[in-house]
Amino acid sequence: MFSFLRKSKMNTVTVEGSPTTLDIPAGKTLLEAMLDAGLAMPHDCKVGSCGTCKFKLVSGKIGELSPSALALEGDELRSGFRLACQAIPRSDLTIAVDAPLSQGIAIATYRGTIVAAQRLCEDIIGLTIELDRPLAFTPGQYADLTAPGIEGARSYSFAFATVGEPTQQLHFHIRHVPGGAFTDWLFCTDRTGMELKVTAPYGQFALKDSTAPILCIAGGSGLAPIISILEQALDRGADRAVHLLYGARRQSNLYALDKIAALRQRWMAPFEFFPALSDEEPDSDWAGARGLITEQIADVADLAAHEAYLCGPPAMIDFAEAQLLAAGLSRSVISADRFLDRSNRT
Ligand SMILES: Cc1cc2nc3c(=O)[nH]c(=O)nc-3n(C[C@H](O)[C@H](O)[C@H](O)COP(=O)(O)OP(=O)(O)OC[C@H]3O[C@@H](n4cnc5c(N)ncnc54)[C@H](O)[C@@H]3O)c2cc1C
Ligand code: FES
């Protein structure tokens, strides 16, 4: 009868080989709790598609928002691996994680106001959001945006670099997905002045410490985190050669060309830029490359010496990754940010 006085149930999670223990309130996923605590648990999509957040369940019980089998292999499942973004603890747990769990930037929720929504091309809006307080992130990371009246959050990559300083003004490049709830909402009228919930920072797509030449492959609004990463490389001295391949459908879908031109102008090392159009009218005035952007990869000189950053549609990334591996790049020098959603689960 005094159940209303009981504290809401917490489950304690112990991470093997680390001093870390977490108290997780009912209903939270394991990944949410780890990120809230500032633990740099590997993750990417947060919707059970990519398999990046896998952990080994050593003891205890979990419920799953969607089956881990959708993203993990049979032998991984048999060895006890599960997805942290889909796991809801149902008892105290002991888990093991392959990656070292260093302390990262804690995820927090901010109140944001849209202060500008500018068309960058036919199907991409540049969205500027002013936060109620400063946010720190690493270039390449992303935020979850929740709009009024739309169920669930949508993920968008920061389209600029903060150079060491937290910032209150965020920029995103958002492509219209016709029929998509969030992007239909954003594109149907001017949303300036509207409030959004912003939860950030997420993701581990980031510039590596290296001197190797950089190969970037972006499709559509996948240019957003690539620009962010290149701005960071510029701040570090811009002394690494860059090869940027950028795929769009038609000339009317190209954007940020002025931004890329400005980066190239300030770059200290060679900076090659190759846009390619997949659906341009055959008789148009386009003098550049035509076809899929991945068809340009084989023409990159000294391909195997590069460190690669890929961002955009999952199919483009899978194809590019396969070509790079076949050309002799090792998996450790290929970083990819797939714009995954639940529809991409295998
Ligand atoms: C890490 C990451 C970064 C991304 N960065 C960008 C970017 O910078 N620019 C860009 O244009 N796109 C980006 N995307 C894609 C973006 O998140 C959206 O998927 C896309 O804009 C379509 O959203 P929509 O609401 O219009 O379409 P919808 O089809 O309505 O939704 C897209 C997806 O959102 C999820 N969803 C839908 N309803 C719900 C719900 N009720 N609760 C929870 N989730 C739901 C589903 O997974 C659905 O497939 C990124 C995706 C990821 C994973
Ligand atoms: S982050 Fe969990 S499957 Fe992608």
Question: How confident is residue 268, by pLDDT bands cut at 50, 70 and 90?
Answer: very high
Domain that holds residue 135: 108-202
* Single residue among 202, 236, 271 that ends a domain in this structure: 202
Give residue for tokens 């009317």.
Answer: 252
Q: Does residue 321 sit in the same domain as residue 220?
A: yes
The model's pLDDT over 94-137, given as tens digits with 9 standing for 90+, comes to: 999 987 777 667 789 999 999 999 999 999 999 999 999 999 99
Nearest-atom index, ligand 1, CA of 337: 1
**Does the pLDDT value for residue 20 go beyond 90?**
no
CA of 181 to the centre of ligand 1 (A): 9
From the CA of 341, the nearest ligand is 1
Q: Is 205 in the pocket of ligand 1 (CB under 6 A)?
A: no
Q: Is residue 102 part of a domain?
A: no
Per-residue pLDDT, averaged over 14-42, amounts to 87
Q: Does residue 287 sit in the same domain as residue 308?
A: yes
Q: Is 152 in the pocket of ligand 1 (CB under 6 A)?
A: yes
CATH number at residue 71: 3.10.20.30
Nearest to 254 by CA among 196, 175, 199, 344: 175
Q: Is residue 335 part of a domain?
A: yes
Per-residue pLDDT, averaged over 154-183, amounts to 93
Q: Is 162 in the pocket of ligand 1 (CB under 6 A)?
A: no
CA of 65 to the centre of ligand 1 (A): 18
Closest residue by Cα to atom 37, ligand 1, is: 152
Q: Is residue 250 part of a domain?
A: yes
Nearest-atom index, ligand 2, CA of 43: 1
Q: Does residue 218 sit in the same domain as residue 303?
A: yes
If you count DSSP H runs as helices and E runs as strands, how many of each does the chain have, helices first? 6, 19
Q: Does residue 315 sit in the same domain as residue 255?
A: yes
The whole-chain average pLDDT of the chain stands at: 92
For the chain, the distance separating the N- and C-terminal CA atoms, rounded to the nearest angstrom, is: 47
Determine the pLDDT at residue 5: 43
Nearest-atom index, ligand 2, CA of 53: 2
Determine the pLDDT at residue 342: 59
Q: Does residue 275 sit in the same domain as residue 300?
A: yes
Q: Is residue 209 part of a domain?
A: no
Q: Is 206 in the pocket of ligand 1 (CB under 6 A)?
A: no
**Does the pLDDT value for residue 261 go beyond 90?**
yes
Q: Is residue 208 part of a domain?
A: no
Q: Is residue 334 part of a domain?
A: yes
Q: Does residue 194 sit in the same domain as residue 220?
A: no
Q: Does residue 154 sit in the same domain as residue 275?
A: no
Instruction: Report how far apart, in Å, the C-alpha atoms of 237 and of each of 31, 201, 234 are.
Output: 35, 25, 5
Closest residue by Cα to atom 39, ligand 1, is: 152
Q: How many domains does the chain have?
A: 3
Q: Does residue 219 sit in the same domain as residue 339?
A: yes
Stretch among 24-28, 162-166, 308-312 having the lowest mean pLDDT = 162-166
Q: Does a cis peptide bond (omega within 30 degrees of 0) precede residue 148?
A: no
Q: Is residue 101 part of a domain?
A: no
Determine the pLDDT at residue 8: 60
CATH number at residue 219: 3.40.50.80
CA of 54 to the centre of ligand 2 (A): 7
Closest residue by Cα to atom 3, ligand 2, is: 48
CA of 316 to the centre of ligand 2 (A): 19
* Single residue among 51, 75, 96 that ends a domain in this structure: 96
Q: Does residue 67 sit in the same domain as residue 135?
A: no
CATH number at residue 172: 2.40.30.10
Nearest-atom index, ligand 2, CA of 51: 3
Q: Does residue 129 sit in the same domain as residue 19?
A: no
* Single residue among 142, 176, 202 that ends a domain in this structure: 202
Q: Does residue 254 sit in the same domain as residue 319?
A: yes
The three-class DSSP label of residue 14 is strand
Q: Is residue 207 part of a domain?
A: no
Report residues whose beta carbon is within 6 angstroms of any ligand 2 atom.
Answer: 43-46, 48-53, 71, 83, 85
CA of 341 to the centre of ligand 1 (A): 6
Q: Is 341 in the pocket of ligand 1 (CB under 6 A)?
A: yes
Strands 81-83 and 334-338: unpaired
Instruction: Report how far apart, in Å, the C-alpha atoms of 346 and of each of 15, 76, 77, 180 are.
Output: 29, 16, 15, 20
Per-residue pLDDT, averaged over 243-268, amounts to 97
Question: How confident is residue 287, by pLDDT bands cut at 50, 70 and 90?
Answer: very high
Give residue for tokens 């949508």.
Answer: 154
Per-residue pLDDT, averaged over 329-338, amounts to 93
Q: Does residue 69 sit in the same domain as residue 162?
A: no
User: What angle do helix axes 257-266 and 223-235 make, rounded to 10 degrees?
Assistant: 20
Exposure of 73 by Cβ count < 10 A (0-12 exposed, 13-18 middle, 19+ buried)?
Answer: exposed
Nearest-atom index, ligand 2, CA of 45: 4
Please state, for a pLDDT cut of 70, what percent of the chain lies above it. Answer: 95
Pocket test residue of 32, 39, 46, 81 for ligand 2, highest count of atoms within 8 A of CB: 46
